[in-house]
Structure 1
Amino acid sequence: MHSLTLESDNRDRVAAVLGEGGWIVACLCAAWCGTCSSWRAAFDALAARHPDKTFVWIDIEDQAAVVGELDVDNFPTLLLQRGDTVAFFGTTLPDAHVAERLIQSQAGADAAELARLAASSAERRGWQRECNLRTLLADAA
């Protein structure tokens, strides 16, 4: 499976995955960004290696109604979320090995550990309030 590109007609599908407690691995990028264009193939390859997770490509300009308030400092920015718990939000190197390690480390944690980590720092608590993709999708509807 390859990643899907977030569009207005598939937002409900992404929200449903989160509602069921599934993992979302979202990449926030922009069509004009050369790094993002180069990274897309590696992101799709990661999706193929993790068929148990939903990989979502989000163009921050096309989906400004969803991500408008998110603080995207650089590209690519990854958002890893399981259910309503944001496990990671931040810029990462456009390197499949780095992303693979990040995904494995987060997905290897059980729900209790994810909850503990989500509350472990001001930054992570902020992710829960500001970066929850399920909430952002609902607010954009």
Structure 2
Amino acid sequence: MSLRPNVSNAEESPLSEEFLVICLCAEWCGICRDYRAGFDGLASQFPDTRFCWVDIEDQADDLGEVDVENFPTMLIRRHQLVLFFGAILPHQSHLRMLIEAFREQTPAESLAYANSNPERRGWQENQELCRLGMIK
């Protein structure tokens, strides 16, 4: 699988960032097109976090069985832990708050959070979600 990193921070970023934020959208979606600028802006505010924009149609093969029902859908990982997977309101401030909250957690707190309910435990067991963001 190869997801295209967001150009605003991909060139100087190593492949081993602690946090990864993937936006799953579609070019045909007006909300997604409007959201893109804010997403790119957040990437510049968090240079040590890798941001990837994934068009669910252009990169459908990379997604496997991952189901995207609403836009924008976000996947946020800390190393191999899936901390968030779901649709959010298309406001840059909402994603910023999520990222900041996860960055404030210690690794142990992130582990506890990722396993704190059945839905989150399911994310950890979902091989399709776990492999998203793995760059060859």
- Using the size of structure 2 for normalisation, the TM-score is 0.83
**What's the counterpart of residue 34 of structure 1?**
30
- Equivalences for 1:1-141 in 2 at 5 Å? 6-7=3-4, 17=15, 20=16, 22-130=18-126, 133=129, 135-136=131-132
1:79 match: secondary structure: strand
Kept after mapping to 2: 8 A contact 1:81/1:132: no
Percent identity, aligned pairs only, is 44
Distance 1:132 1:112 in 2: 24
Residue 73 to residue 133, structure 1, CA distance change in 2 (3 Å): same
Distance 1:6 1:103 in 2: 20
Q: How many aligned positions are there? A: 127
What amino acid is aligned across from residue 60 of structure 1 in structure 2? Answer: I
What amino acid is aligned across from residue 3 of structure 2 in structure 1? Answer: L
Higher helix share: 1
Kept after mapping to 2: 8 A contact 1:60/1:68: no
Residue 71 to residue 131, structure 1, CA distance change in 2 (3 Å): farther
Distance 2:78 2:49 in 1: 9
Runs ≥4 in structure 1, deviation > 3 angstroms? Answer: 131-134
